[in-house]
Amino acid sequence: MQKKFQKDSRYSEYDEDGDGIVTDAELAHVKEIKETETNLRKNLAQLRMARWTLIFMGVYAVFLASPFCSPEKLSGLAAVTDLIFLSGAGIVGGYMTVTCWPKK
Ligand SMILES: [Ca+2]
């Protein structure tokens, strides 16, 4: 007897041609699609992280150069500023390295 999915099963999406039978080829194709979707989400998250880090570093640099930041504040923020720019550059540099790395 052939197995069937229950009505509105979440696995029915695996039957790509809609003939009611999930073949091994369809399962393999779905697995490939899911892996691609996961990689795309991961790449998008990394891109957003690098982008917002760059934006934050730019805004922070503008703040430091603005009249809102007095020399006393500037010297007080010196240690934190070093950490922010070093870690931000690390994040962006890591992203650039990973995205430019040749794929196997
Ligand atoms: Ca099918």
The rounded Å distance from CA 32 to ligand 1 centre is 16
Classified as helix, coil or strand, 5 is: coil
Q: What is the mean pLDDT of residues 31-43?
A: 94
Distance 39 CA to ligand 1 centre (A): 25
Q: What is the pTM of this model?
A: 0.71
DSSP 49-93: HHHHHHHHHHHHHHHHHSTTS-HHHHHHHHHHHHHHHHHHHHHHH
CA–centroid distance, residue 31 to ligand 1 (Å):
15
pLDDT tens for residues 43-100? 999 999 999 999 999 999 999 999 988 888 888 888 899 999 999 999 999 999 988 8
Instruction: Using the mean position of ligand 1's atoms as its centre, give its distance from the Cα of residue 4 in Å.
Output: 12
CB–CB of 22/14 below 8 Å? yes
Q: How far apart are CA 64 and CA 73, in angstroms?
A: 9
Residue indicated by tokens 């923020």: 77
Closest alpha carbon to 4 in 21, 24, 28, 27: 21
Can you read off the two tokens belonging to residue 74? 């500037």
